[in-house]
Amino acid sequence: MRRVARILLLLLIGVPLTLGVAFAITVAVTPLPVPNLPEATEILDASGAPIRRLFTENRVALQAIDMPEHLLNALVAVEDDRFYAHHGLDPIGIVRATVRNLTARRIVEGGSTLTQQLAKNLYLTQERTFTRKLREAVLTVKLESTYSKREILAMYWNVVYLGQGTYGAEVAAQTYFGKSARTVTVAEAALLAALPRAPEYYSPFGYHLNATHQRRNLVLDKMAAQGYITPQHAEAAKREPIHLAKRKEPAEEAPYFIDYVVRELRTTFPAVANDLYQGGYRIVTSLDQATQRSAEAAVRTAAPPATANGTAGQPEVALVALDPANGYIRAMIGGREQRVDRNRATEPQQPGSAFKPIVYAAALETRLYTVASTQLDKPAEFPGAAPGEPWRPRNAGDQYSNRPAAMRDALRRSLNVVTAQWMNILKPGPVIGLAHRMGIEGEIPANLTIGLGSAEVTPLELTRAYAPLTNGGFAVKPIAVLRIMDRRGTVIAAQNTRRSRAMSPGVAFIVTDLLKDVLRPGGTAANVAGQLAGRPAAGKTGTSDDGRDAWFVGYTPDLVAGVWVGADDNSASNRQGSTAAAPVWADFTSRALHDRPQRDWAPPADVARQEICSLSGLRANRSCPTAREWFLAGTVPTEVDPTIHWTHLLPSEPSAPLPLPGAQPPPTTPPAPEPPAPEPPTPQRPPGPRWPFLRIPFRILKPS
């Protein structure tokens, strides 16, 4: 018997000891797996304000140091009151839970510690097997030996599901209270700690608010009983009403811009794109949310509502706005619906006359021609895209002056035949080369029709191509993603501004000066000038054949924006750039820049201004109607116009001025007496002729 007793004693001591040693060795040699914990990626605007979260599980992790003590204490009080007394496994807690469950004849208390729950959520499945429980125990002890108690609590708060599609205390606090978990009150912390038991049931957005209040008050009582707060503090917190944030539908801010960002990530940062919805990245973008809201308001206000099929009468709209200094995309709209089925800001369309400024910039770049150079505005025939097929461009409304037209007049009135004459002189090569340097990346066919916008471009491309006109001649690469940070806040990728010289500063300034006239009386977009309240601006309308596409690309020194209006089915209509697209641009620009000071473009060093004869383009003589024009240095006209412009000199018959509407008749008081006549002067040479042209020096009248 004694021998049997000794054997039993050895077994009672040896087996647990052996198992304990084996367990300790297992813990020591078992590495902690890398937790595959999905975390939401945050898309931020240029100022760091959130735009959207992309996730499979809506989670934003906080560091332990960022969590308030009462948030940690509330969790301990209700979920594991012996948390600071055990080392992950709690035999006393297991025995206590077993007794209470047997007494109640139902499960009223769990035996798992917070650390066990964390190990299960981080590394394991929910299967109920002995092997899984053994592995849970090993990982629990490993967690306790690796991390501090505070770190374990923070990890738990970051992992746990808290209802309404939220994971972790940070997203739950923002969802329920409209604030960060860093700033929750004791009462709010108690409510969050009440949720893990049954997240949807106890959710303050659910249908069991009485149960939610009772569960929160239970947490407060437990916090008081365990000394984390005083009883008085607990009672005050119980009386605190639950102030819930307004319930929000899934965010749809700037959907087309977000779509563009995701596509750019796939191209430029594929590793990030592959892990985008669970990698916990923070992506800082170029978007300015105030500018984006201005774009959305302008589209809603100035464009008619769309129909389901986007018919010609109710068109689709695309708008892109860039900062011309750095290429940052400040706003993007790819359609009139918030649902992104296609992004029209990146779909190619025919730009019509909105392409013309590139033609005139190419002409000036040669330095063989100036703004005073002219082409005949009359019907003409040119080589077509195919051999034997002549091209016969037409002006709008078949209106022709049958006179030479200078560049300013050609752009202001958008004269197609004059632009075709320039294309025939320049040939497609230089125009295509300049278009590519300015930022148009798509293929441009080498034929004369491209001067009138036959080659398709995207709104983003064409808007980018106008940036050199406002920033002194530099092409800029559009940038949507500025910086990418991993979940630890380390910057892992960044994009800097990329600029390249597209044209001389003088050419950019002169073309801009010409395009200002488009928004002045007589210009094709004069109808929207009043919306700008005197702000210096320039731009160009565009309309493709049969009104399929209406464009306006315009800019100020601070912002360049392009607007396209058209139908998805490419149907013809009577849309015009001046009436369909320009009002959207003007409304957007006035909203986006309402708090910016007005400023104009300063003349660069390589231009000079000269008064010229507006009829001949030469230096003006005294008979000329004059205009002041800008010229590239070295191209200023030096020859004086030898022609006497008699029609300009001959005076018209004088006529009495017409009274203004509402003007009062002149007073009938008698005139004042005339002063006495002065002594007659000494006779002089007879006065000259009354008409000024007879006083022109003889040397000007001599034939050249």
**363-386 residue pLDDT tens:** 999 999 999 999 999 999 998 877
Phi/psi region, residue 123 (left: phi>0; alpha: psi -120 to 50; beta: rest), is alpha
What is the average pLDDT across 398-418? 96
Q: What is the mean pLDDT of the chain?
A: 85
Question: DSSP character for 160?
Answer: -
Catalytic residue from among 39, 42, 79, 365: 79
d(CA 174, CA 192): 11
pLDDT surpasses 90 at 36: no
Q: Which residues pair with 499 in a beta bridge?
A: 476
Q: What is the pLDDT of residue 462?
A: 98
Residue range 352-455 in CATH 3.60.20.10? no
Cβ burial of 94 (10 Å; 0-12, 13-18, 19+) is: middle
What is the average pLDDT across 576-591? 96
Q: How far out from the chain centre does Cα 393 lie?
A: 38
Q: Of all residues in the chain, what percent carry a pLDDT higher than 70?
A: 80
What is the average pLDDT across 497-511? 97
Catalytic residue from among 112, 286, 353, 623: 353
Q: What is the pLDDT of residue 384?
A: 84
What is the average pLDDT across 482-500? 94
Instruction: Name the residue among 466, 494, 457, 458 with its Cα closest to residue 479.
Output: 494
Structure tokens belonging to residue 261: 């960002």
Half-sphere exposure for 444 (CA within 13 Å, toward CB)? 28
What is the average pLDDT across 567-591? 92
**435-455 residue pLDDT tens:** 999 999 999 999 999 999 999
Determine how β-strand 607-613 pairs with β-strand 560-566.
unpaired
Phi, psi of 175, deg, nearest 5: -70, -45
d(CA 371, CA 362): 12
CA dihedral 371, 376, 380, 382 (to 10 degrees): -30
Which secondary structure element, helix H or strand E, spans residue 53, and what is its range? strand 50-54
Least confident stretch, 199-213, 249-263, 366-380, 599-613: 249-263
- Measured on CA atoms in the order 215, 220, 225, 227, is the torsion positive or negative? positive
d(CA 73, CA 60): 21
Coil, strand, or helix at residue 383?
coil
Q: What is the pLDDT of residue 673?
A: 42
Q: In which band, very low, low, confident or very high, does the pLDDT at 599 lie, cut at 50, 70 and 90?
A: very high
Instruction: Name the residue among 361, 468, 467, 466 with its Cα closest to residue 422.
Output: 361
Structure tokens belonging to residue 537: 């601006």
Q: Of all residues in the chain, what percent carry a pLDDT higher than 90?
A: 64
Q: What is the pLDDT of residue 140?
A: 83
Q: What is the pLDDT of residue 701?
A: 38
pLDDT surpasses 50 at 342: yes
Which secondary structure element, helix H or strand E, spans residue 438, and what is its range? helix 428-438
Domains in the chain: boundaries: 67-239, 352-455, 607-649
Q: What is the pLDDT of residue 700?
A: 38
**296-309 residue pLDDT tens:** 999 998 755 544 44
- Is residue 79 annotated as a catalytic residue, yes or no? yes
d(CA 620, CA 613): 4
Structure tokens belonging to residue 107: 């499960």
d(CA 579, CA 226): 72
d(CA 531, CA 642): 43
Please check whether the two domains, 67-239 and 352-455, share a CATH topology: no
Q: Which residues contact 391 (CB under 8 A, 6 or more apart)?
A: 381, 382, 383, 384, 385, 420, 448, 449
Q: What is the pLDDT of residue 688?
A: 38
**520-576 residue pLDDT tens:** 999 999 999 999 999 999 999 999 988 899 999 999 999 999 999 998 888 888 889
Structure tokens belonging to residue 40: 């939401």
- Decide: 469 and 442 in contact? Cβ < 8 Å: no
Least confident stretch, 107-111, 156-160, 179-183, 454-458: 107-111
More confidently predicted of 36 and 245: 245
pLDDT surpasses 90 at 46: yes
- Angle at which helix 69-79 crosses helix 186-194, to 10 degrees, equals 40
Q: What is the pLDDT of residue 101?
A: 57
d(CA 564, CA 254): 18
CATH of range 67-239; options 1.10.3810.10, 1.20.120.530, 3.30.70.1280, 1.20.58.340: 1.10.3810.10
pLDDT surpasses 60 at 662: no
Q: What is the pLDDT of residue 128?
A: 59
* pTM value > 0.85: no
pLDDT surpasses 70 at 7: no
Least confident stretch, 46-60, 167-181, 303-317, 397-411: 303-317
Q: What is the pLDDT of residue 265?
A: 94
What is the average pLDDT across 497-504? 96
Q: What is the pLDDT of residue 90?
A: 77
**262-307 residue pLDDT tens:** 999 999 999 999 899 989 999 999 999 999 999 999 999 875 554 4
Taking each continuous run of H as one helix and of E as one strand, the counts in the chain are 23, 18
Q: In which band, very low, low, confident or very high, does the pLDDT at 337 lie, cut at 50, 70 and 90?
A: confident
Q: What is the pLDDT of residue 17?
A: 54
**233-258 residue pLDDT tens:** 999 999 988 889 987 655 578 999 99
Instruction: Name the residue among 533, 535, 553 with its Cα closest to residue 543.
Output: 553
Least confident stretch, 359-368, 414-423, 522-531, 683-692: 683-692
Q: What is the pLDDT of residue 387?
A: 80
Residue 458 CA: distances (Å) to CA of 142, 425, 453: 57, 27, 12
What is the average pLDDT across 581-589? 97
